[in-house]
Amino acid sequence: MLLEKIQSPDDVKRLSRDELKTLAAEVRTHLIAKLSAHGGHCGPNLGMVEATIALHVVFRSPEDKIVFDVSHQSYVHKMLTGRVSAFTEAAHYDDVSGYTEPSESEHDHFIIGHTSTSVSLAGGLAKGRDLVGGKENVIAVIGDGSLSGGEALEGLDWAAELGTNFIIVVNDNQMSIAENHGGLYANLAELRRTKGQATNNLFRAMGLDYLYVDEGNDVDALIEAFEQVKDADHPVVVHIRTLKGMGYALAEADQERWHWTMPFDIATGELQYTPSGEDYNTLTAVHLLQRMKHDANVCAITAGTPGIWGWTPERRLEAAGQFVDVGIAEEHAVALASGMAKRGAQPVVGVCSSFLQRAYDQVSQDLCINNNPATLLVLWGSLTSMTDVTHLCHFDIPLLSGIPNLVYLAPTNREEYLAMLDWSLSYREHPVAIRVPVGPTQPASRDVPQDFSSLNQYEVVLRGEQVAVLALGNFFGLGESVCRLLRAQGVEATLINPRYITGLDEALLHSLTADHRVVVTLEDGALEGGFGEKIARFYGPTAMRTLCYGARKAFVDRYDPQAFLAENRLVDTLIASDVIEALRC
C-alpha cells in the first residue's frame, strides 16, 4: 500500500502520476473505512481527494501555507502530512481532530470549524508574509457552500487589493450541506457550463484573476492548474469542479445525507445505530409544518443547516415557500426575519447556538432595536451537545441575555417548549428567542401555561425554605435532583423554573430573602456573563449567599461531556454538598 509510506508531502511528490492515482484510490478506501466505523464528514472529503493530493504535489507545505475553510474537508490533507495512522488504524482514529489543528502538525495553520473564514485568515498570512518578508505561496481552499457567508465575500472583495501572491481554490461541489442557495451559485453553474469562459464572472467582478478546472477530480488536470498559478505575483482564483461524495456511490447519490454521517454499514449505507424516540429537532419541524398548513404567514428560515432542526428534503418540499434556506449566511437570516416580522409574517429562524455567534449584531441592531416580533430558535445550546472547540454551544446565554427588548426563554420540557413556540408566533410585543432543549423529549410533569406575555414571571415548582434552586432549561432535572438530595438531608428547598433568561422576577427573588439564606443557580452554559451572574448581582447588596453553577471560562476541545460536567461541579451530589456547606456559614 502506497498510503502507509506517506509520512510527509515529500513522499507524495516522489510518486509517479500513475502512483498518485493509486494513492487517491487508497485514500478513498481508507476514508470510507474510517468513516463507516467512526463517523464524520464524508462527502466533502471524498470530493477533495485529488485536489488535496495535487496541492501537496505542487506546493511545498508547510512553507507554502494551505488553509482549509471549515476544515472539515481536511481529512485527506491530514493523511498526507504525517497523520495517516489516524485514518488507517482504528486504535488511532481519535488521534486527530475533525478539523485542522496546529498542535497536531506544522502543516495546519488554524483551528477552523465555522465556515467562510479561510480567505480572510489566509489573506492575513499573505499580508503578514509581505510585511515580515517571505516568498511562500498562500493558498485558501473554500467551497462546499461557504462562499455565501459574509466573511468569505468580504475576504474575496479585499483580496483583490493585496496585489501579491494569494491563491484561492474554490471547491465547487455544487452543494452546501444541503443544496446551495443564492444567486452566486447560478454564476458558478454558468461558469461550469462554459468551462470558465462566461463573460460574467463573480470572481473577476471582485477584481480577481481566474482559472477554471473542469476535471476537479483528475490529479493531472489539477497539478497542471496549480503549477500554472504557483508563485503567481497576484491573487488568483482556481475554480475546480468536484463531485461531493465521489467514489462512494451512496454518497454521490444522496449528497445531503452523506455530508456528515454517523457510523454505517459500507454495503448498505445503513447507520449502525439509529436514534430512537422523539427528539426536539424533529418535533420542531413537524410542529411548524403543521402550523404552516393553517397559517400562510408562518415561515421557517435556515442558514444552510435545515437538517439540524428536522427539515428533511421531504418536509422542505411540503413547506414550499414557507421554508427559506438563505445558504450559509446567518447575518442575512436574522435581518431577513426582522423585515418579515415587520411586514406581518411570522418568521422562525432556527440556528445552532455556535453559529448564532455570527449574527450577534444583526440580533441586536436589525432585530432587537427595531423590536420586530420574529422568533429565534437556538438549537443545541448546551455544554453536552457539541464537544469540538469550534462548535461549542456554551455561549448563547451570555450573548443574548444582555440584549434589550429580546425575550429569551428556557423551556424545561416538551409541552412547555411547544407552548412557548406557539406563543412566540402570536406575540407581537418583542422578538422572542427560545433555547430549544437538547436530547430526547421530556414530557411535562406539571401543568404548562399557554401564555408567557407576563414577562419574567418565574415558576415556583416547590416552595421550601432556607435554600432556593433556580434550575434553568436543560438543567431543570438537575435542580430536581439536587432538591431530592437536600430533602434527604432535612432541607426542604425551593425549586424554581426561571423560564425567562432575559429578566429577573424581582418580586419573587426579593420574597426569598425573608426565609432563604442560599440561592443556587444552574445553567447549561458558560458562567461568565450568564444567568447566574445576574442573580448574584441582584443579591449582591443583601445577606443572601449565591452559588452559581455552569461552565468555567475555557475553550475546551473533544471533551467527555460527563467528565466536563463533573469538573465544573455540575453534579447533583457535589452541588448538594456545597449547599449544605454554605448553610453552615
Member of 246, 393, 491, 548 binding its own copies (CB under 8 A): 548
For 289, the grid coordinates are 409544518
Q: Is 366 in the site for its own copies (CB under 8 A)?
A: yes
Close Cβ partners of 25 (under 8 Å, ≥ 6 residues apart): 247
Is 581 designated active site? Answer: no
Q: Contact between 91 and its own copies (CB under 8 A)? A: no
Minimum CB–partner distance for residue 122 and its own copies (Å): 6
Of residues 28, 244, 414, 534, which has the active-site annotation? Answer: 244
Selected from 271, 553, 558, 573, the binder of its own copies by CB under 8 A is: 553
Cβ proximity to its own copies: between 200 and 453 the closer is: 200
Is residue 270 flagged as an active site residue?
A: no
Considering only the stretches 8-16, 38-46, 152-160, 243-251, report the one whose residues sit in contact with its own copies under the rule CB under 8 A. 152-160
Q: Nearest 5 degrees, angle CA 534-CA 538-CA 540?
A: 110
Work out whether 322 is an interface residue with its own copies (CB under 8 A): yes
* 486 in contact with its own copies (CB under 8 A): no
| Identity of the residue numbered 253 | A
Q: Where are the alpha helices (DSSP H) in 374-475?
A: 396-401, 414-426
> 57 or 168, CB closer to its own copies?
168
Helix (H) or strand (E) holding 494: strand 494-497
Is residue 537 part of the annotated active site? The answer reads no
Cell numbers that stand for 62 in this block: 508547510
Determine if 172 is a binding residue for its own copies (CB under 8 A): no
Query: CA–CA separation, 46 vs 286, rounded Å?
Result: 32
Give the orientation angle of helix 414-426 with respect to helix 280-294, to 10 degrees. 40
Nearest partner of 471 among 463, 485, 481, judged by Cα: 481
Site for its own copies in 220-249 (CB under 8 A): none
Q: Which is nearer to its own copies, 49 or 67 (CB)?
A: 67
Q: How far is the CB of 53 from its own copies (least distance, A)?
A: 25
The answer to whether 566 contacts its own copies (rule: CB under 8 A) is no
Query: Closer to its own copies at the Cβ: 60 or 204?
Result: 204
Q: Which of 96, 336, 461, 467 binds its own copies (CB under 8 A)?
A: 336
For residue 537, what is its C-alpha cell? 448581582
Provide, rounded to whole angstroms, the least separation between the CB of residue 123 and its own copies: 6
Phi, psi at 337, each rounded to 5°: -60, -40
Query: Does residue 102 bind its own copies (CB under 8 A)?
Result: yes
Q: Which of 50, 151, 330, 523 is catalytic?
A: 330
The alpha carbon torsion through 79, 84, 87, 88 (nearest 10 deg) reads 140
Contact 32, 61 (CB under 8 A): no
Task: Return the HEC string of 96-127.
Answer: CCCCCCCCCCCCCCCCCCCCCCHHHHHHHHHH
- Beta strands at 260-261 and 40-41: parallel, antiparallel or unpaired: antiparallel
- What DSSP element (H or E) covers 471? strand 466-471
Q: Does 96 bind its own copies (CB under 8 A)?
A: no
Calculate the alpha carbon distances from 80 to 42, 45, 221, 240, 323 in Å.
17, 13, 19, 20, 41
Is 106 a residue that touches its own copies (CB under 8 A)?
Answer: no
Contact between 444 and its own copies (CB under 8 A)? no
Is residue 450 classed as helix, strand or coil in its secondary structure? Answer: coil
* 201 scored as a contact of its own copies (CB under 8 A): yes
Q: Segment 520-539, which members bind its own copies (CB under 8 A)? A: 526-530, 532-534, 536-537, 539
| Residue of 97, 165, 171, 390 interacting with its own copies (CB under 8 A) | 390
Question: Under the criterion CB under 8 A, does residue 155 sit at the interface with its own copies?
Answer: yes
Q: How far is the CB of 49 from its own copies (least distance, A)?
A: 27
Q: How far apart are CA 421 and CA 232, in angstroms?
A: 54
User: Binding of its own copies at residue 158 (CB under 8 A)?
Assistant: yes
* Binding of residue 168 to its own copies (CB under 8 A): no
| Own/partner pairs, 539-542, CB within 8 angstroms, 24+ separation | 539/509, 539/513, 542/513
Q: 14 or 553: whose CB is closer to its own copies?
A: 553
If binding is defined by CB under 8 A, does position 514 make contact with its own copies?
Answer: no
Among candidate residues 316, 358, 414, 435, the one labeled active-site is 358
User: Which has the closest alpha carbon to 388: 101, 122, 117?
Assistant: 101
397 Cβ neighbours under 8 A, 6+ residues apart: 381, 408, 435, 501, 523, 525, 526, 529, 530, 531
Q: Which is nearer to its own copies, 484 or 553 (CB)?
A: 553
317 binds its own copies (CB under 8 A): no
Q: Which of 91, 132, 317, 320 binds its own copies (CB under 8 A)?
A: 132
Size of the site for its own copies (CB under 8 A): 118
- Residue 135 in contact with its own copies, rule: CB under 8 A: no
Binding window for its own copies (CB under 8 A); candidates: 48-56, 195-203, 213-221, 271-279 = 195-203
Q: Active-site residue numbers?
A: 244, 330, 358
